[in-house]
Amino acid sequence: MDRSPVSDADVCVVGAGPAGGIVAHRLAESGASVVVLEAGPRFDGDRREQLEQHIRPGLGGPWEMGGPRDAFSSSGDSFYPLNAARVKGVGGSTLHWQGMVMRLHERDFELDSRHGVGADWPIGYDDLRPYYAAAERELGVAGAADNPYAPPREEPHPLPAFRPSHSDSIFAAACERLGIDMHSVGNARNSEPYDGRSSCVGYGTCKPVCPSGAKYTAESHVEKAEAAGARVIDRARVRRLDHDETGERVVAAAYTTPDGETHRQEATQFVLACGGVENVRLLLLSDSDRYPDGLANSSGAVGRYFMDHLFAGAGGRLDRPTRQNHVGFNTSECHQFYDDAEPVNGLKLEFLNYAGPSPVIDALHADTWGDDLRDQLDESYGTHISMGALVEQLPREDNYVGLDRATTDDLGDPVPEIHWSVDEQTEAALSRANGIQTRVLDELGIEDRWTVGPDETGPAYHHMGTTRMGDDPDESVVDAECRAHDLDNLWISGSSVFPTGGAMNPTLTIAALSVRLAESLRAALG
Amino acid sequence: MRLTRRDALAVLAGLGVTGGAVSLTRFDPPTAESTDERGDSSGEDGADGDDAPPTAVRETMVAAGEVVFPSAAEGVSEFVETYVVGRARDDARRDAMVDAATELDDVARDWEGAAFADLPAGDRDRLLRELGVDTADPVQDGTLSERLRFHVVNELLYAFYASPTGGRLVGIENPIGHPGGTESYRRATMDAPGELPDSGGEHDG
Ligand SMILES: Cc1cc2nc3c(=O)[nH]c(=O)nc-3n(C[C@H](O)[C@H](O)[C@H](O)COP(=O)(O)OP(=O)(O)OC[C@H]3O[C@@H](n4cnc5c(N)ncnc54)[C@H](O)[C@@H]3O)c2cc1C
Ligand code: SF4
């Protein structure tokens, strides 16, 4: 494949996940000449190979993450498993993602004014509201208007919600007695055929692969961008952005292709959409005399305020069938406690449809077969039930993404360093989530149970906050339009611009901001 | 419970292996029903086609299936044959499976003086365990026991437990890997297709 640069590009987008794909599609459709540079490959072909890779041990991971290209360091009190938390390829991390999508609440945009913690966004929920609706159409969200805690919306979701699962109905009775409200989950997954993709057929392997195409991946936006004339160059790793003499404009993205060649892609406008970790790495690698601490980093905020959502969970076994692992997604959640202030961190509860082991996966790992194995599977499958929760982590300067200059990747570039710790306030919120979960499990009469709380928690793989948005150039990296304060033609798309992360999965907000960014960028192109 | 060709075809379709010239695209996913229709005309061709593994290999795989499947399974021979022939459409898999099954048969002849398929089931089970296949990691190009685990035992266990009938035996009619639709997750039991909760109204106890 020809991986040489495009001449006369209006826009160069770096990264082909949802943040880059949506911007590229919108701009190409409006007539701009767009080139997308993507570090990873295109995963063409039949997704059922990846399905088998996921289910059968001994075949390697489906998305080829973790080699020398993806080296990283983790410092800080909590280990950050970066390569479980992202995918490099056309589609980005949505190749692997779960596909739960919901809007942030009003309070997420004004946490400082309301509660004196975190930061305010320079925009409010109302500014983003029409873009949320557009994002729901872009991703094809199945949902219902049955969530009394969701922020206001005028129009229905583009697709009907998935019906509640049998295990939701088990929870429903207990939750009703406890006054805990259950409602549907927004799913970027077709409940009916939509946008040229089939409806869900129940493979049950959504994360990490949906072989039917029912789960949204950003491949669809990349393909639409190409149909509208964009050029997409895969396996093109951008290693540096160069600016002009004034330091006010980016002039080129230097990228290396698999043959070892390095090219320079010039363009009028540049969009950085490499995800919350690699956005930072690229800016830091692009330091210069004018920007000794990294490109667009006069504020010193690049890489700071790294946030993720934390997982809390609890589960156990019932004395009757819970019907888990038929589908790989959830149908019910609870946002009732999201806006509470004690502790202030947002939290949402999930009712899992994939609690406990799947017989086929267990069988392939078992140390026996025949009737022994059948007995083992009879015992292990069928009666597990569990709840999850995501908990908000407030922005803290000392959680950061930096460069580990002592360690390099296969091209000789310093790898990203994730310095991440979970503070006491977040731990308190995790304990609170566990407390609610325990009440539900008590109500169900589950005595023997497991809990994932503050001591065992891990990240939900949502990288946020590292190139935060704000009005003050001394404290933030991009403005309310997602344009860098320091450079006129550098835009940043993705959750790295979130000043706070709430506790809702981020990608719908990423998509809404991307649609909005594309509009502003279109205007800047004239 | 009786395994059928349809079960094997459902698993193959889940893996993207379909009969004859029928190609299922990513946007036209298979269902158990469509698979059955398509498979019925094409699977037979496959069984007699050039890429079908030799009879001895098919017999060895069936004999292994009789050991690794639970004793309640019936119809093993037809099920395994259909699966093995379908799987052989992937050249690399076919060759590796043929090699592994042949090696297993060779070991049986050396150690027991009989073809693997001619040994009593108890001896087949013992032989596989003596080779360490039960505890070996599945590795495509590993040691003999690792290869037997990957290309013989796990191939068969996958076929069995990802099929609707095999799954049903341990409580799930729509196991992971089987595109069995979006009704089953809503049912209270395997056997009550009519019982779909409406809005979470069912009460426990
Ligand atoms: C297991 C898992 C489950 C998830 N579940 C959910 C969920 O249910 N709901 C939800 O909202 N979110 C979920 N997420 C998060 C979601 O996937 C991300 O929020 C989303 O993909 C981020 O979009 P992005 O475009 O900003 O970044 P990405 O999707 O990460 O895409 C960035 C792209 O940039 C490329 N890139 C990086 N560096 C360079 C470079 N130097 N040059 C060129 N290209 C580069 C990468 O290869 C990648 O393809 C999940 C993530 C994971 C890993
Ligand atoms: S259950 Fe998940 S993997 Fe299966 S078809 Fe539906 S979305 Fe895809």
Of A46, A182, A203, the CB nearest to B200: A182
Tell which residue, B21, B150, B164, has the closest CA to residue B79.
B164
Tens digits of per-residue pLDDT, A10-42? 999 999 999 999 999 999 999 999 999 999 999
Buried b (16+ CB within 10 A) or exposed e, B168-181: bbbbbbbbbbbbbb
Instruction: Work out which ligand 2 atom sits closest to the CA atom of A198.
Output: 5
Contact pairs from chain A to chain B, CB under 8 Å: 198
C-alpha–C-alpha distance, residues A11 and A33, integer Å: 6
Secondary structure (DSSP) of B110-144: HHHSS-GGGS-HHHHHHHHHHTTTTTS---TTS-H
Whether the predicted pLDDT of B34 surpasses 50: no
Question: Please, what is the average pLDDT of chain A?
Answer: 96
The pLDDT, as a whole number, for residue B25 is: 28
What is the mean predicted confidence (pLDDT) over B72-87? 92
Ligand 1 within 6 A of CB of A104: no
CB contact under 8 Å between B138 and A360, yes or no, is: no
> How does residue A61 score in pLDDT terms, banded at 50, 70 and 90?
confident
Ligand 2 within 6 A of CB of A145: no
E strand or H helix that includes residue B44: helix B32-48
- Closest-CA residue, ligand 1 atom 21, reads A93
Flag whether B178 is in a domain. Answer: no
* Residue appearing with tokens 């140390």: A367
Tens digits of per-residue pLDDT, A285-344? 999 999 999 999 999 999 999 999 999 999 999 999 999 999 999 999 999 999 999 999
Ligand 1 within 6 A of CB of A40: yes
Flag whether B17 is in a domain. Answer: no
**Cβ-contact A70, A93 below 8 angstroms:** no
C-alpha–C-alpha distance, residues A426 and B163, integer Å: 43
Instruction: State ipTM.
Output: 0.90
Tell which residue, A415, A284, A440, has the closest CA to residue A349.
A440
The pLDDT, as a whole number, for residue B30 is: 40
Find which of A11-25, A63-77, B25-39, B182-196 is predicted with most confidence, using mean pLDDT: A11-25
Residues 4-33 of B with CB under 8 A from A: 14-16, 26-31
| A330 to chain B: closest CA residue | B185
Percent of chain A with pLDDT over 90: 96
Q: Chain A interface, mutation test: which of B25, B26, B147, B169, most A Cβ atoms within 10 Å? A: B26
CA distances from A405 to A24, A285, A409 (A): 32, 10, 10
More confident residue, B114 or B42: B114
Ligand 1 within 6 A of CB of A207: yes
| A195 to chain B: closest CA residue | B27
Ligand 2 within 6 A of CB of A142: no
Distance from CA of B77 to the nearest CA of A (A): 16
B146 Cβ contact list (under 8 Å, min separation 6): B136, B137, B138, B139
Bridge partners of residue A350, in order along the sequence: A333, A388
Ligand nearest to the CA of A199: 2
> How does residue B87 score in pLDDT terms, banded at 50, 70 and 90?
confident
Residues 114-153 of B with CB under 8 A from A: 125, 134-135, 137-140, 150, 153
| Total domains, chain B | 1
Q: Where are the domains of chain A?
A: 1-112+207-308+396-421+464-525, 142-185+310-392+423-456
What is the mean predicted confidence (pLDDT) over B115-125? 97
A74, two tokens: 């983790």
Q: Would you call B52 an interface residue with chain A, using a CB distance cutoff of 8 Å?
A: no
| A357 to chain B: closest CA residue | B176
Q: Would you call A197 an interface residue with chain B, using a CB distance cutoff of 8 Å?
A: yes
Instruction: Look up the domain containing B147 and give its range.
Output: 53-172
CB contact under 8 Å between B185 and A323, yes or no, is: yes
Flag whether B180 is in a domain. Answer: no
* Residue appearing with tokens 């590292």: A466
Q: Which residues of B touch A163 (CB under 8 A)?
A: 182, 186, 196-198
Of A46, A191, A361, the CB nearest to B26: A46
A465, two tokens: 């906050």
Flag whether B18 is in a domain. Answer: no
CB contact under 8 Å between B199 and A164, yes or no, is: yes
Distance from CA of B90 to the nearest CA of A (A): 11
CB contact under 8 Å between B26 and A211, yes or no, is: yes
Flag whether B123 is in a domain. Answer: yes
Ligand 1 within 6 A of CB of A515: no
CB contact under 8 Å between B137 and A58, yes or no, is: yes
Whether the predicted pLDDT of B49 surpasses 70: no
Of A164, A367, A374, the CB nearest to B200: A164
Q: Would you call A359 an interface residue with chain B, using a CB distance cutoff of 8 Å?
A: yes
A76, two tokens: 């800080």
CB contact under 8 Å between B154 and A57, yes or no, is: yes
Whether the predicted pLDDT of A43 surpasses 80: yes
C-alpha–C-alpha distance, residues A220 and A197, integer Å: 9
For domain A1-112+207-308+396-421+464-525, the CATH class is alpha beta
C-alpha–C-alpha distance, residues B11 and A248, integer Å: 58
| B28 to chain A: closest CA residue | A198
Instruction: Work out which ligand 2 atom sits closest to the CA atom of A215.
Output: 7
Whether the predicted pLDDT of B23 surpasses 80: no
CB contact under 8 Å between B202 and A173, yes or no, is: yes
The pLDDT, as a whole number, for residue B196 is: 54
Instruction: Work out which ligand 2 atom sits closest to the CA atom of A203.
Output: 4
Flag whether B154 is in a domain. Answer: yes
Tens digits of per-residue pLDDT, A77-90? 889 999 999 999 99
Q: How far is the CA of A502 from the centre of ligand 1 (A)?
A: 18
Residues 30-89 of A with CB under 8 A from B: 46-49, 51-52, 55-59
Of A213, A327, A444, the CB nearest to B26: A213
The pLDDT, as a whole number, for residue B5 is: 86
pTM as predicted = 0.93
The pLDDT, as a whole number, for residue B17 is: 76
Please state whether beta strands A237-243 and A400-408 pair in parallel, antiparallel, or not at all (unpaired).
Answer: unpaired
Q: How far is the CA of A209 from the centre of ligand 2 (A)?
A: 8
The pLDDT, as a whole number, for residue A46 is: 81
The pLDDT, as a whole number, for residue A486 is: 98
Tens digits of per-residue pLDDT, A183-231? 999 999 999 999 999 999 999 999 999 999 999 999 999 999 999 999 9
Q: What is the DSSP letter of A395?
A: -
The pLDDT, as a whole number, for residue B193 is: 56
* Residue appearing with tokens 């279109």: A522
- CA A334 to chain centroid, in Å, comes to 20
Distance from CA of B108 to the nearest CA of A (A): 19
Q: Would you call B70 an interface residue with chain A, using a CB distance cutoff of 8 Å?
A: yes
B68, two tokens: 């690794």
The pLDDT, as a whole number, for residue B46 is: 38
Of A169, A170, A360, the CB nearest to B162: A360
Of A172, A326, A373, the CB nearest to B200: A172
Whether the predicted pLDDT of B28 surpasses 50: no
**Cβ-contact A517, A23 below 8 angstroms:** yes
> How does residue B88 score in pLDDT terms, banded at 50, 70 and 90?
confident
Ligand 2 within 6 A of CB of A63: no
Secondary structure (DSSP) of A88-113: -STTGGGGT---B--PPPGGGGBHHH
* Residue appearing with tokens 């990490």: A208
Residues 297-316 of A with CB under 8 A from B: none
What fold does the segment set A142-185+310-392+423-456 form as a domain? Cholesterol Oxidase; domain 2 (3.30.410)
